[in-house]
A = this chain, B = another copy of it.
């Protein structure tokens, strides 16, 4: 029989300020923030993920602006008054196609953002200062290092910071540690974009994503070739977040490590405005059928103001709320989900695991099979579409009975053969 959840998943939004987008930090206005957050509280949300702009908070390496930290604290306070908890991303870094790298780490002062000791010292000081400033706020959840900071190491980045997996790990641990020095009792995270799961050259590997920080965070965007390959309203698109979460789960040494679906959105033109509510329903129905789900944080709170130029077109219509703070259709659907969270029951374990075979699990070599259009992706999706509720297990764990039991896995299947320990049946698979 259904087991009531001890803690239902949290429902929240990534806060994109309605006036001035993240440039609002330059003209911080508590009244405007209060208006935005008040409307979000009406949606039944319990938390927000908010974003400092690195260039404004730390314009010189040794100048972490007290007034910026005060504004951030004020935002957390306003949220608290409305019953909203807050997680704070520090190193932006990267947001919606725009990079914000301070001049002390760019052009003439350019240094590797992951490996340069001077930069690391600056980043650590900054994250420590944010955590220290906010630790006394009861609704402060903790920090995330920064939004998809790993994109600066991406092979396609215009000023790529090359790093090895070991260097990426060292950097992540240093950043989490700095945050913990500032706020020892808070929960600190990091986040990557999905190259982490799909690109063998990406040094921020799934292993790091799934074992460092308080939880594994997942950012799920169908414009990652899922929509282009299968359609924005395909089953694969609806299944993408749960697929990424099960993939992340496979890499975690802790079989019950929590997973935070930290970004999920309905991006046009892959998902039309008319389809967005249905996309959300289908996507969240699948996503909530996942164990150890900490919460879902929609991207984003507010549509970007059309008066601001140069955003990729999709960024203007991702909000739960319109830029004028009116609730959009997808906002109303998200409210339904948020209000129903007390009725949710604990999902049953996913008993069937597809075995992921990589050339090197530490380095994540061979990850491409997992990307949309990859063989592993397709095999997993086929199982899911047959209704088998698949999860994922790494090849190195596929014979580890204790581990499988801890995860509730009763059947493992290779890309080629289904093996059901109970009955020994096999099913050929392309």
A310 & B23 in contact (Cβ 8 Å cutoff) = no
User: Cβ of A104: which chain B residues have Cβ within 8 Å of it?
Assistant: 98, 309-310
A60 within 8 A of B: yes
Interface size class of chain A, counting residues whose CB lies under 8 Å from the partner chain: 35 or more
Q: Is A59 an interface residue (CB 8 A)?
A: yes
Q: A103-B99, A104-B98, A108-B158 are in contact. Are A56 and B309 (CB under 8 A)?
A: no
A58 → chain B closest CB, angstroms: 10
Question: With a CB–CB cut-off of 8 A, which chain B residues contact A21?
Answer: 60
A7 in the interface, Cβ–Cβ < 8 Å?
no
Q: Are A308 and B60 in contact (CB under 8 A)?
A: yes
Q: Which residues 227-253 of A sit at the B interface, judged by CB distance below 8 A?
A: none
List residues 156-210 of chain A with CB under 8 A from any CB of chain B: 157-159
Is B98 in contact with A108, judged by CB distance below 8 angstroms? Answer: yes
Instruction: Using A108-B158, A110-B158, A158-B107 as known contacts, say yes or no to A26 and B97 having CB atoms under 8 A apart.
Output: no
Q: Which of A20, A21, A99, A108 has the most CB of B within 10 A?
A: A108
**Contact of A422 with B by CB under 8 A:** no
Q: Are the CB atoms of B106 and A310 closer together than 8 Å?
A: no
Query: Least Cβ distance of A296 to chain B in Å?
Result: 27
User: CB < 8 Å: which of B56, B103, B309 contacts A61?
Assistant: B309
**A284-323 CB contacts (< 8 Å) to partner B:** 307-310
Residue interface mask A36-67, B partner, CB < 8 A = 1: 00000000000000000001100111110101
How many copies the complex holds: the figure is 2
In the complex, the chain B residue whose C-beta lies closest to that of A98 is B103
A109 lies within 8 A of chain B by Cβ = yes
* Residue among B26, B65, B107, B110 making CB contact with A65, cutoff 8 Å: B26
Question: Judging by beta carbons under 8 Å apart, are A108 and B99 in contact?
Answer: yes
- Shortest CB-to-CB span from A22 to chain B, Å, is 9
Q: Which residues of B contact A56 (CB under 8 A)?
A: 26
A110 — which chain B residues lie within 8 A by C-beta?
158
Alpha-carbon distance A158/B158, docked complex (angstroms): 11
Map CB proximity to B onto A349-389 as digits: 1 under 8 Å, 0 otherwise.
00000000000000000000000000000000000000000
Complex alpha-carbon distance, A55 and B25, angstroms:
13
Q: Beyond A21-B60, A60-B308, list 12 extra A-B contacts (CB 8 Å).
A: A60-B309, A61-B309, A62-B307, A62-B308, A62-B309, A63-B308, A99-B103, A99-B107, A99-B108, A101-B107, A109-B310, A118-B310
Q: List 28 A-B contacts (CB under 8 A).
A: A20-B63, A21-B60, A23-B59, A23-B63, A23-B65, A26-B59, A26-B65, A26-B67, A26-B68, A27-B67, A55-B55, A60-B308, A60-B309, A60-B310, A61-B310, A62-B308, A62-B309, A63-B307, A63-B308, A98-B109, A99-B103, A100-B103, A101-B106, A104-B309, A104-B310, A106-B106, A107-B159, A109-B310
